[in-house]
Amino acid sequence: MGADPNNYVMFNNELWRIIGVFNVKSSASGSAQKRLKIIRNESLGKMAWDSGSVNDWSQASLQEYLNGEYYNTIDSVSQSFIGDTYWNLGGSSTYNDVTASMFYERERGTTVYTGRPIEWIGQIGLMYPSDYGYATSGGSTTNRETCLNTELYNWDSYSDCNNNDWLYESSNYKWTLTPISSFSTDVFDIQDIGGIGATSATSILTVSP
């Protein structure tokens, strides 16, 4: 937690960072196992989440790129550490009233736009809004408890919450995995001012797998 915790690891001869250890499954019916979730320290640049403007990660153009062309650039030793993972695709119908813990519950829920799946089994994904929320340490004017009880949309008004969050980058809008379920086209993002917002899947934002 915090602006720059010592959570760095080398993977694929690159610097990555540890988001956390999670109990995850490799299939819908499989048993949960502890897995390390990491994120690339340097982004892959800016891309659309889905070129067809559909907020379904199972068929998104970014998902296909990350698990195809990008995956094939990873060295074989590192690939051997990447297993199939059951990713939750639950969304939220709102974004201006949702705290980190509320996002965590909704990400693992069943609220999605009509016809969208609630899970996807694959290898490479993106961070969740809750990952961003829990990465803060609070600060001199807003402690961590205050930040975790503050809607992520309002973090732009609480500079300590985002400035002491190691997943925040002031110069970039960054994609998350989670769709906004009240629309067929929109996905949650981390804004350059620190709050969580939502934008069309065709927008060109920073990608950090």
- Among 25-29, 102-106, 117-121, where is mean pLDDT lowest? 25-29
Give the integer Cα–Cα distance in Å for 143 and 8: 24
> In the 3-class helix/strand/coil scheme, how is 81-142 assigned residue by residue?
CCCCEEEECCCECCCCCCCHHHHHHHHCCCCCCCCCCCEEEECCCCCCHHHHHHCECECCCC
Cross-strand partners of 174: 190, 206
Please tell me what DSSP assigns to residue 158.
-
Query: Are the beta carbons of 82 and 125 closer than 8 angstroms?
Result: no
Please provide the average confidence, as pLDDT, over all residues in the chain: 94
C-alpha closest to that of 198 among 68, 92, 118, 126 = 92
The confidence band for 1, taking pLDDT boundaries of 50, 70 and 90, is low
The Cα-based distances of 113 to 39, 78, 183 in angstroms read 27, 35, 6
At residue 26, does pLDDT exceed 90? no
Amino acid at 107: E
C-alpha closest to that of 3 among 113, 130, 138 = 138
The Cα-based distances of 34 to 46, 77, 105, 119 in angstroms read 31, 20, 19, 18
Mean pLDDT of 166-179: 95
Mean pLDDT of 78-96: 95
